[in-house]
Amino acid sequence: MDRAGVRAGQKVLVHGGAGGVGSVAVQIAAARGAEVFATASAARTPLVQRLGAVPIDYTSVPVERYVAEHTGGAGFDIVFDTVGGPVLDASFEAVRTCTGHVVSALGWGTHALAPLSFRAATYSGIFTLLPMLTGRGREHHGEILREAAALVDEGKLRPLLDGTRYTPADVADAQRSVESGTADGKVVVDVEP
């Protein structure tokens, strides 16, 4: 919403579109009128489609192929990486030349910037906890959250919660669900007072 200025007419790629953060990104981009694409495993492509994105099975379709297929080889206007590691590197290869922008919530590690530089594209790393931890930018962070709340009120944004309910006694099972990637969205552990 903030760093990339997503708007109607843009092609947006969300890596990890079936996850808790990715599912929100898909919905926000769609609400702003963008044409949204999202990577997910084959088992999760129906979920991504229900959220409003064209699914891309990252396990079987290489970057070059989905860039060619969905953008005519031009690249995506915005690529949002919620996975990190090699997926951030793939984001640099998938972004549009000259005007493209990559946003990552997990930009840690060592990454080759040459593919991004050769495209003359831009990159933003985000750390949403920074305003809460330091106080800097807190007012602006509040503006972003109010905009997201308005989308919720309009029915254009809903959190994706895994259907399995866990109790404190099931925390190990909940953790395994997250680690294995089988959870559909955020995992909830119900704690009664």
Which of 26, 24, 43, 44 has its CA nearest to residue 35? Answer: 26
- The list of the chain residues with pLDDT below 70 reads none
DSSP β-ladder status, 161-166 and 122-125 = unpaired
- Read off the pLDDT of residues 28-63 as tens digits, 9 standing for 90 and up: 999 999 999 999 999 999 999 999 999 999 999 999
- What distance in Å separates the CA atoms of residue 172 and residue 134, rounded to the nearest whole number? 32
Q: What is the pLDDT of residue 76?
A: 98
pLDDT of residue 151: 95
Radius of gyration of the CA atoms of the chain, in A = 17
How many secondary structure helices (H) and strands (E) does the chain include? 8, 8
How far is CA 186 from its chain centroid? Answer: 14
